[in-house]
Amino acid sequence: METDQVNETNENADEKINQLRSQINSVDEKIIECLASRRKLVSEIASGKARDGSPLRDSKREQELLVDRIRIGKERGLDAYFVTKVFHEIIDDSVRLQQEYLQGRANSTAPGQAVVRIAFHGIEGSYSHIAARKHFSRYGEQVVFLGKTSFDEVIKAVEQGHADYAILPIENTASGGINDVYDLLLHSQISLVGEEKIPVTHCLIASKNVPLTQIKRVFGRPNVISECGKFISRFPDWQIEYLSDSALSVKRIKDANDSSMAAIASEEAAQLFGLTVLERDISNHRESFNRYIIVARNPIKVDVRIPCKTSLVMATAQRAGSLVEALTVFRDHGINLTKLESRPIPGNPWEEMFYVDFEGNLADERVQSALSEVTKGTRFIKVLGSYPSSDLVRTPVAPEVAAAAAAAPAAKKAAPSESKPAEPAKPKTKKAYKLASRDNKPEDTLIHVGGVTIGGDNFSVIAGPCSVESYDQIMLCAKEAKAAGAHILRGGCFKPRTSPYSFQGLGLQGLDFLAEAGRTFGMPIITEVMSEEYIEPVAAKSDIIQIGARNMQNFSLLKAIGRTQRPIMLKRGLSSTIEDLLMAVEYILSEGNQQVILCERGIRTFETATRNTLDISAAPVLRRLTHLPVFIDPSHAAGERELVPPLALAAKAVGAHGIMVEFHPEPEKALSDGPQALRFPQFEEMMQALGKI
């Protein structure tokens, strides 16, 4: 009898779950219907814009849309980060759809009934094939993909009319440019008409699930094997064999059906051939991307409303300064270079050709004028083509506006204040800190990291716990930081403590937790480095590296950190003058790293009412003396959470470029600096108050 009752209960539970799943299916169908309806409306808008010549994008409209959707989402129990992420994707799709429409009109082409032939290197399942499917997905079933065994054959297929387009890998964010492709572009009769970027996640693939110790032979492309060198080095007995294509490596072990053989390729290739992924994401660098170029026989026109890139190859005169003169032309015309790659000229020892990518359209008179001037000073120049950029700049929602929208959904939101701090005076006196001074660089330094621009007229908020204490803790803090409108996530992994018996941090494990939290919520991260031995592992995962107050005059550490390419935050020492701080930053700048943020965090004085004494005047003084961004850390200055919000407001009022504050889900249980950590509601209130200044 009891068994029958249990079975009946289980059956009822299963039936309830099935009913809920059916309802979810119904909701999903409605979502798809709504997205399709929205796309039709966007197509009509694109048609109208094509007729009247109005701009492709309206950033004010996009921001208003996002803020309104955040408000509506809050009313229905959805957090701001989720809503923003969904609608950024929807807006991206809308922009791309309008771009395709305008391009179709500009070139009298559009997806129709004709079959489009695409040449690529490798076989089905290769990274080039994956990129080609993504780029030409708008053609649907009208596409035929033609795999070729070499880059030369790919280009010849287009030149000889056997293919309409070709896709070629041009660079990888980890291993750099593809030299063979660069060399072929110089002599081919084709034009660049597009670009595509895809994330690259290398996987170890086998015929079935076996222990890694049973693997004897591993197949892969030479560059892929190199990109996974650290993982492979853990297995010195593996025999490495090179093939010309990643998907061919997978096919090789599929045909052999030998469980001691493995291949390194994409997960898509494993699925295509019905094989097993033993390990995912085994490359030396996470978040690696491949960039591909799309080529055709003839150049295309790019509508002037579409963000555009132009690529060219040039050889400058063989005299001192000729390359600088050519590059200066682009600067003087306000044209931003996105890539400069050198390649030797065959038959001319020690002479170089330069491949240049820049933001601009050949139809723009400014670009035409620049190219005309550059041509006068070069021995050879060839424009490879203008094409739509694959990068879409997402309209940011001002964090304080988003926070206010989420906190008060029914209220009408005021636009963010347009007031700006007075322009700093620019003294013309000689300073010992020459690289950091405004005498050397009058304009503000802007630091771009993970979609955040630090410096200039921007006010950025770095927030998070003092220490990374656990995976759950930092994930919870990251979610709060993102929802409240912070820009950058902080968390100490190596904690310098006065007492040797205090919590010293989780070390590299904490760094892994912090990096995962940053990736999950789309935020750059910052953490401190205390010694030279940890610079490399921290630089590999942290977007910004912090040098704490205790190490401000650790000159060997400053010089070592100056040789990295990560932005650095340098905190003012406990008993240091402003000149001491600027002299310390000179050590970093003189080693090559020009991306430094200065941070005032309070100094020791005779006053004992607070943990330290915040020198609020340091912000305007530093802005007058240096071009580097200036932050204020009210948490370490005050040492008491109730004092942090007013000091943060003061920091913005006096012209600081940002603040660094600490919060914690349960400050009483914090393993370090609990008294100065804001509670979540306090942090949210502070963020809303900052938006009103």
pLDDT tens for each residue of 15-34: 889 899 999 999 999 999 99
Helix (H) or strand (E) holding 203: strand 203-206
Cβ 417 vs Cβ 535: under 8 Å: no
pLDDT at 425 over 70: no
Tokens 């197949």 belong to 219
**Which band of pLDDT confidence, cut at 50, 70 and 90, is reported for residue 416?**
very low
pLDDT digits (tens, 9 = 90+) for 200-216: 899 999 999 999 999 99
Residue type, 603: I
Sheet holding 378-388, edge to edge: 337-345, 348-359, 308-316, 378-388
User: What is d(CA 536, CA 557) in angstroms, rounded to the nearest whole number?
Assistant: 12
Confidence of residue 103 (pLDDT cuts 50, 70, 90): confident
620-674 tens-digit pLDDT: 999 999 999 999 999 999 999 999 999 999 999 999 999 999 999 999 999 988 9
pLDDT category at 419 given cuts 50, 70, 90 is very low
* Average pLDDT, integer, range 564-583: 94
**In this structure, CATH architecture of domain 459-690:** Alpha-Beta Barrel (3.20)
Residue ranges of the chain that CATH labels 3.40.190.10? 202-282
CATH 3.20.20.70 boundaries in the chain: 459-690
Do residues 111 and 139 touch, judged by C-beta distance below 8 A? yes
pLDDT value of residue 499: 67
User: What was the pLDDT predicted at 409?
Assistant: 47
| Overall average pLDDT of the 523-531 stretch | 95
In contact, 147 and 123? CB cutoff 8 Å = yes
Instruction: Evaluate if pTM is beyond 0.95.
Output: no
State residue 646's pLDDT score: 97
Instruction: Taking the CA atoms of 7, 13, 19 and 25 in sequence, report the sign of the dihedral they define.
Output: negative
Output the pLDDT for position 319: 77
Domain with CATH 1.20.59.10 in the chain: 33-110
Nearest partner of 661 among 672, 671, 647, judged by Cα: 647
Question: Could you give the residue range(s) of every CATH 3.30.70.260 domain in the chain?
Answer: 305-393
Helices (H) and strands (E) in the chain, counts: 22, 25
Residue 511 banded pLDDT, cuts 50, 70, 90: very high
Residue 230 pLDDT exceeds 60: yes
Distance CA 234, CA 655 (A): 51
| CATH level 2 (architecture), domain 33-110 | Up-down Bundle (1.20)
pLDDT above 70 as % of the chain: 91
Q: Is the pLDDT of residue 111 over 60?
A: no
Give me the chain's average pLDDT, please.
89
Alpha-carbon gap, residue 632 to 656, rounded angstroms: 7
What's at 119, amino acid-wise?
Answer: A
**CA 282 to chain CA centroid, nearest Å:** 20
Reading the block at residue 100, the tokens are: 């395709």
Mean pLDDT of 428-443: 80
Q: Which amino acid is at 544?
A: I
pLDDT at 313 over 50: yes
Q: What is the DSSP letter of 669?
A: G
Pick the CATH number of 305-393 from 3.40.640.10, 3.10.450.50, 3.30.70.260, 3.40.50.460: 3.30.70.260
202-282: what fold?
A: D-Maltodextrin-Binding Protein; domain 2 (3.40.190)
Give the Å distances, CA to CA, from 609 to 54, 466, 612, 638: 59, 22, 8, 9
pLDDT of residue 417: 45
Contacts of residue 523, defined as CB under 8 A and 6 or more positions apart, other chains included, come to 450, 478, 481, 482, 486, 487, 488, 489, 517
Predicted confidence at residue 400, as pLDDT, reads 57
Per-residue tokens: 213: 């110790």
Query: Which residues contact residue 525 at a Cβ distance below 8 angstroms, ignoring those fewer than 6 apart?
Result: 488, 489, 490, 491, 514, 515, 517, 518, 541, 542, 543, 544
Q: How far apart are the C-alpha atoms of 547 and 614, rounded to whole Å? A: 18
CB 514 within 8 A of CB 468: yes
Phi, psi of 151 (to 5 degrees): -65, -35
Residue 347: per-residue pLDDT? 60
As a whole number of angstroms, the distance between CA 690 and CA 693 comes to 6
User: How confident is residue 600, by pLDDT bands cut at 50, 70 and 90?
Assistant: very high
Q: How far is CA 10 from CA 3, 397, 403, in A?
A: 11, 47, 44
pLDDT mean over 282-286: 85
Higher pLDDT, 177 or 278: 278
Q: 414 pLDDT exceeds 70?
A: no
Of 127-131, 422-426, 569-573, the one with minimum mean pLDDT is 422-426
Q: Is 266 helix (H, G, I), strand (E, B) or coil?
A: coil
Q: pLDDT digits over 288-298, tens only?
A: 899 999 999 99
- How high is the pLDDT of residue 430? 57
| pLDDT surpassing 80 at residue 113 | no
Mean pLDDT of 423-449: 77
Q: Any bridge partners for residue 314, and if so which?
A: 354, 381
* Confidence tier at 74 by pLDDT (50, 70, 90): confident
